[in-house]
Chain A
């Protein structure tokens, strides 16, 4: 049948190319937006995950905007529900939960918790952001331990000598590499960061940690494990 009418194959190919091209464009502009989004300015958006997303979904579901499951993943269903909510409340319908939308939803916006009052509030906040991105699913002790690892690195000659230097060292933390860190930290992460800065170290002086279910890095497996907390192995 194709031999008789070869012309009919062309639109099919063209459609495939267009879809593929469009897909790539969406994907790459999504990546770009992830890079350029400023810390603290946006609370939650497409691709976000975690307990705050779950909170948004629960509220939207209760009010009938959201039909999907409460899974803590900000997908297109959530984005559409947020847009519907924004339209109803006279907000800019961009599908992003920023400060205004967060307020309308009755969710505590992350920037509010940034006030610290102590001279170390800047360090605390950066540290808490990294802890939140890396270990928000972990227990409280697990989060203090991750913060302590960052501080242990600052005190070790094999690593950069400031908190920001350690956190932003290329490739050092997954949450920094993939931009998950650029979310306002929750109260738990802030509390954990403060405890670590005050001296608590549940990791036992560890310099590295990894999740054995997710890590393929051979080198890290060879390090002596000094403590196990939740899903993380801590080592020297």
Chain B
């Protein structure tokens, strides 16, 4: 209030008033400008949300129609075509759903439904392509999925009407989220999607040959045997793994309760100067090392690829892993990550038993280890005799590929399955390919292309 105690005469007062009025107009102009700009952004967002929503509705309409047709189709070729179209439509539907500004909680079941329909129809399209008709069980599952598509569509049409009448605006969620960075849960869109989710509450678990099949998601480790081990035993194991000379104090930082239960240990290096703690997870059952990471800085590269590979193999032998063979490697940050797979006594490659070892290229120290896939799938296997001879299988490989090498291999198949195949390594157009021919019925199960550069080999 001190300001106003200064006495102003009339003239000065007018001057001040003019200046302030000008400032006010200016501020008003800025305000209006900002407002229109904000409006434009909002409209832009609205439009892209609307587009995703409308496309989603179209996709679900198509899914329903395609499944209805599949129910009455009697030819494998026709069902295969219908199923691949369903696959495409559900993929696109899931994509569009993922772009809507709705919390994950209220649409996770819908998303799961769409992804499973896509995955399932893809696996069925493969069945059809083999000239096989759908089984009775598949037909029943299709009918169920079609019924859910109908329910979903009904709710989506209701929503569409609300959107058209302006009762629901997608942009509103963003508006609330902006200021408080909190997600509005009682929003109209959320409520509508909540209704859909309720309809999916009795959605059955689907079992088929695909990566999203429920038995794959809830898969149990097959490679864990033995008694549960104590924390002391686990620490001992970790000490041996890291090396008696390097390991200092070991503490438990966090136990893991995922698919594989673990003791999460942190190993301080004996020589404190020598860097960071090493993290290592030991399985409770059997006391296996699940993974290990040593995040130390690796300033230079001294080892050759061969030396790194020798170090990794020596390490695995020391740790008691027998019968493994090196496949791919990848270099970055002055390390090499080498992938090993199992190999049977007769030389059959076992791709599902997969291990990774990371070697530091400055001194050959093992700075990373990952046995998750190995522990999930490794077990004693009875490998069947191939039904086809190598010559018979070779005839199934494209004549364009110049075959250089043949081996027998067990490869992972969709749906947690495995298949004995002939692995043909060959060249076409200067690229290396792996072609897998089913050793029982001769069908071509998979094709991998190999990418090779100075940083490693990868498959596509």
Q: Which residues of A contact B (CB under 8 A)?
A: 7-8, 10-12, 14-15, 17-18, 21-22, 24-25, 28-29, 31-32, 35, 116-119, 140-141, 144, 155-161, 165, 168-172, 174, 177-178, 191, 194-195, 198-206, 216-217, 219, 224-229, 236
Contacts and interface: CB of A to CB of B under 8 A. Distances in A.
A168 to B, nearest CB: 8
Given A200-B370, A227-B254, A171 B356 contact: no
B59 to A, nearest CB: 14
Interface of B: 3-4, 13, 16-17, 20-21, 23-24, 27-28, 30-31, 34, 37-38, 41, 91, 94-95, 98-105, 108-109, 111-112, 115-116, 119, 173-174, 177-178, 181-183, 211-212, 217, 253-260, 262, 264, 276, 279, 281, 291, 293, 295, 330, 332-333, 337, 356, 358, 368, 370, 372-373, 451, 453-456, 458, 460
Given A156-B212, A171-B104, A200-B293, 8 more contacts: A18-B20, A22-B27, A118-B330, A159-B111, A170-B99, A174-B181, A198-B356, A204-B260
Contact of A160 (B95, B254, B276): B95
A158 B108 CA distance: 5
Q: Which 9 A-B pairs have the closest CB atoms?
A: A204-B258, A157-B115, A160-B98, A21-B27, A140-B295, A204-B256, A170-B101, A157-B212, A205-B258
Nearest to B108: A158
Contact of B103 (A171, A228, A236): A171
Contacts of B103: 171
Contacts of B23: 14, 18
B327 to A, nearest CB: 13
Nearest to A228: B254
A199 B256 contact: no
A31 B174 CA distance: 13
Nearest to A8: B4
Contact of A229 (B102, B181, B254, B333): B254
A236 B454 CA distance: 38
B264 A119 contact: no
Nearest to A159: B111
Contacts of B95: 160-161, 165
B31 A21 contact: yes
Nearest to B296: A140
Contacts of A7: 13
A225 B257 contact: yes
B98 A204 contact: no
A177 B98 contact: no
B272 to A, nearest CB: 17
9 contacts: A12-B3, A25-B27, A118-B456, A119-B460, A170-B99, A171-B103, A194-B333, A198-B356, A236-B258
Given A12-B4, A165-B98, A199-B356, A172 B337 contact: no
B455 A117 contact: yes
Nearest to B295: A140
B20 A14 contact: yes
Contacts of B91: 161
Nearest to B456: A118
Nearest to B170: A170
A128 to B, nearest CB: 12
A195 B177 contact: no
Contacts of A161: 91, 94-95, 115
Nearest to A217: B183
Contacts of B112: 157-158
A172 B108 CA distance: 12
A25 B102 contact: no
